[in-house]
């Protein structure tokens, strides 16, 4: 500020206007050899953001906007690029976890707008309910740091880049209501519109970790989880129904043909062990299998055997059934 001895603590302050809480801080304190002022500013900034995020304050003034000179994201001059990395290390985590909606800077005579971003990773290429802070460098009326770059966006986090090449420009910020904010960048001489962006946020508040606890993310996760659970349910019961239908077809076919029922076509989970047979898990030869009276009469557990005189051994899982040599009189 003109006529004021620098540095002094009035370099950081905040105020409320309409639906917004505006914070102004110094980027230069992070490049001093003595970090006392940087530590003082950071402590004040944490307290101010926490106050701005209490339930009543964030409900009344949901938009949190931070202003400082040098940008946290910049692809202009080498010095701007290097300094932005320093500022990200110092401030980006706090901006993200405290739910800062917009950060405005002015450096390098370069207009640059990011996607909602955190630690260089784009949260979404949309400004509808973004889950990360948006950074706009207006580059309006800088003196020495004139970027001569003519390249457009190359970084993934860059949404719009306009090299101004010394031409002055200015930004207009319009807060329409709790959910809609408009930023416009215009040429200072012609008033021509250079860029226009609507920021729409229905869920103001801290963004949380990189993986996010954003309400939209939570909704998507819940829907996907329920869908997967429902598909798994259908698959399990579909297999059960298929096995049951096969069982019914086999039963009908054996009754029509008058054949002995093949126990190996079913497992114990569907048929269960035969009555009168002890399942000890041992594989025994035919000589050790004892006839079962109920089976010798031709019927065992409702299964009809053929009329031929026979001696067989039928195995289900760990279950053996011996058939006597008596003819089946009831077939």
DSSP 114: E
Question: According to the model, what pLDDT value does residue 267 have?
Answer: 46
pLDDT single digits (tens) 137-154: 987 665 555 554 556 788
Give the domain 9-213 fold: Purple Acid Phosphatase; chain A, domain 2 (3.60.21)
Which pLDDT band holds residue 317 (cuts at 50, 70, 90)? Answer: very low
Residue 266 and residue 247 in contact, taking contact as beta carbons nearer than 8 Å: yes
Which pLDDT band holds residue 259 (cuts at 50, 70, 90)? Answer: low
Domain boundaries defined on the chain: 9-213, 214-257, 259-331
Q: Among candidates 63, 69, 72, which has minimal Cα distance to 25?
A: 69
Measured distance CA(100)–CA(207) in Å, rounded: 9
SS3 for 122?
strand
DSSP 146: -
Measured distance CA(297)–CA(326) in Å, rounded: 8
Q: Which residues face 181 on adjacent strands?
A: 175, 199
Measured distance CA(138)–CA(147) in Å, rounded: 13
Inform me whether the pLDDT recorded for 34 exceeds 50.
yes
pLDDT single digits (tens) 43-67: 999 999 999 999 999 999 999 999 9
């Amino acid at each position: 500020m003109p006529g004021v001895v620098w540095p002094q603590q009035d370099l950081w302050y905040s105020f409320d206007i309409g639906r917004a809480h505006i914070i102004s801080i110094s980027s230069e304190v992070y490049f001093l050899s003595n970090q006392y002022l940087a530590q003082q500013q950071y402590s004040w900034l944490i307290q101010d953001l926490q106050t701005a995020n209490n339930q009543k304050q964030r409900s009344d003034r949901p938009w949190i906007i931070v202003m400082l000179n040098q940008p946290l994201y910049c692809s202009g001059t080498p010095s701007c690029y290097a300094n932005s990395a320093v500022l990200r290390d110092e401030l980006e985590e706090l901006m993200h976890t405290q739910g800062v909606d917009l950060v405005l800077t002015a450096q390098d005579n370069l207009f640059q707008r990011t996607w909602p971003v955190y630690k260089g990773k784009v949260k979404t290429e949309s400004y509808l309910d973004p889950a990360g802070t948006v950074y706009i460098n207006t580059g309006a009326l800088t003196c020495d740091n004139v970027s001569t770059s003519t390249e457009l966006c190359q970084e993934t986090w860059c949404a719009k880049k306009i090299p101004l090449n010394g031409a002055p420009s200015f930004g207009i910020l319009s807060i329409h209501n709790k959910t809609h904010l408009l930023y416009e960048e215009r040429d200072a001489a012609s008033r021509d519109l250079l860029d226009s962006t609507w920021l729409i946020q229905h869920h103001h508040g801290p963004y949380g970790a990189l993986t996010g606890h954003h309400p939209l993310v939570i909704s998507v996760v819940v829907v996907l989880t329920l869908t997967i659970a429902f598909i798994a349910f259908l698959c399990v019961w579909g297999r059960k129904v298929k096995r049951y239908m096969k069982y019914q077809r086999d039963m009908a076919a054996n009754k029509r043909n008058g054949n002995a029922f093949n126990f190996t076509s079913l497992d114990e989970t569907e048929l269960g062990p035969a009555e009168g047979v002890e399942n000890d898990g041992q594989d025994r030869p035919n000589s050790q299998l004892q006839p079962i009276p109920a089976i010798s009469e031709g019927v065992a557990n409702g299964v009809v055997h053929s009329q031929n005189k026979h001696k067989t051994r039928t195995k289900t899982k760990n279950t053996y059934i011996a058939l006597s040599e008596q003819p089946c009189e009831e077939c």
